Amino acid sequence: DRLRLDDKVAYITGGGQGIGRAFAHALGEAGAKVAVVDLVLAKAEAVARELSLKGIKSIALAADVSKPEDVQRIVDTIIARWGTIDIACNNAGINMNSASEDTSLEEWDKTFNVNLRGLFLCCQAAGRIMLNQGYGKIINTASMASLIVPHPQKQLAYNASKAGVVKLTQTLGTEWIDRGVKVNCISPGIVDTPLIHSPELQPLVQRWLADIPAARLARVTDLQAAVVYLASEASDYMTGHNLVIEGGQSLW
């Protein structure tokens, strides 16, 4: 079965909750060993425990992906533990929220440090291992916001950083494919997470719903098969691709 990931070694950043947690489960259920990486160790540990209860081999690691020493440490730890990295899921991302005219340099830098510098550091550190072994799958989490402006306010740094994720993915994907390393990204639409359940966000959620041909928000389960596909041999001819999963929202 070309979609199985048996004996593959994977890591997922931002794996402590939300989309990353769902990706960790999906990769593990497909057979991979999974290193769950998060800024908050307790969250990574909780997810690693969930995986262990399902019989999936997993470890929890703390790292701030925007720090080169943290990224190198997680790569070294995974190599020491499991000998290789076959699948790198670079998913950690943040979304800050101020009007463009009020966006501080701190907010701009923080967003880019996590969403783009972090991705560069992870792709480079994991990529070196993969190029060396002539095999690897890198899957980055971008966003529908890389293509369209899904809501017109307060997303300048986020939208710009996610467009950067797609171009980084395209560039690495073409540069490395002849050495066996495939680099793709997934762009979710608006995903139904606890984050958007607050009462004050409901008017905005209603507006989003009106813009989604699928007439509902994405669920993390809508995204899980995509990460397995991009991590598996079945997608070996794909690279630099932006797999958009948004219920048709970017087409409307």
- CB contact at 8 A, 23 and 224: yes
Q: Read off the DSSP letter of residue 151.
A: S
**Amino acid, res. 165:** V
Name, in order, each residue with C-beta under 8 angstroms of 121's C-beta and a sequence gap of 6 or more.
Answer: 65, 66, 67, 68, 71
CA distance 177 to 158: 28
Q: Is 43 in the site for ligand NAD (CB under 6 A)?
A: yes
- Stretch 81-110 residues interacting with ligand NAD (CB under 6 A): 91-95
Selected binder of ligand NAD within 5, 10, 12, 19 (CB under 6 A): 19
Return the structure tokens found at 218. 């994405």
Cα torsion at 221, 222, 228, 229 (round to 10°)? Answer: 160
Q: What phi, psi does 33 have (nearest 5°)?
A: -80, 140
Q: Is 181 in the site for ligand NAD (CB under 6 A)?
A: no
Cβ closest to ligand NAD, residue 134 vs residue 194 = 194
Q: Is 222 in the site for ligand NAD (CB under 6 A)?
A: no
- Stretch 110-129 residues interacting with ligand NAD (CB under 6 A): 114, 118
Selected binder of ligand NAD within 3, 17, 131, 208 (CB under 6 A): 17
Cβ closest to ligand NAD, residue 13 vs residue 235 = 13
Q: Is 64 in the site for ligand NAD (CB under 6 A)?
A: yes
- CB contact at 8 A, 33 and 85: no
Please name which of 35, 45, 43 lies closest in space to residue 76, comparing C-alpha atoms. 35
Selected binder of ligand NAD within 39, 87, 88, 147 (CB under 6 A): 39
Q: Is 66 in the site for ligand NAD (CB under 6 A)?
A: yes
Selected binder of ligand NAD within 5, 11, 38, 123 (CB under 6 A): 38
Q: Is 158 a catalytic residue?
A: yes
C-beta of 132: minimal distance to ligand NAD in Å?
25
- The catalytic residue among 135, 158, 229, 237 is 158
CA distance 102 to 232: 43
Please name which of 50, 46, 62 lies closest in space to residue 25, comparing C-alpha atoms. 50
Give catalytic residue positions.
158
Applying CB under 6 A, the residues found at the interface with ligand NAD are 13-14, 16-20, 38-40, 43, 63-66, 91-95, 114, 118, 141, 143, 188, 190-191, 193
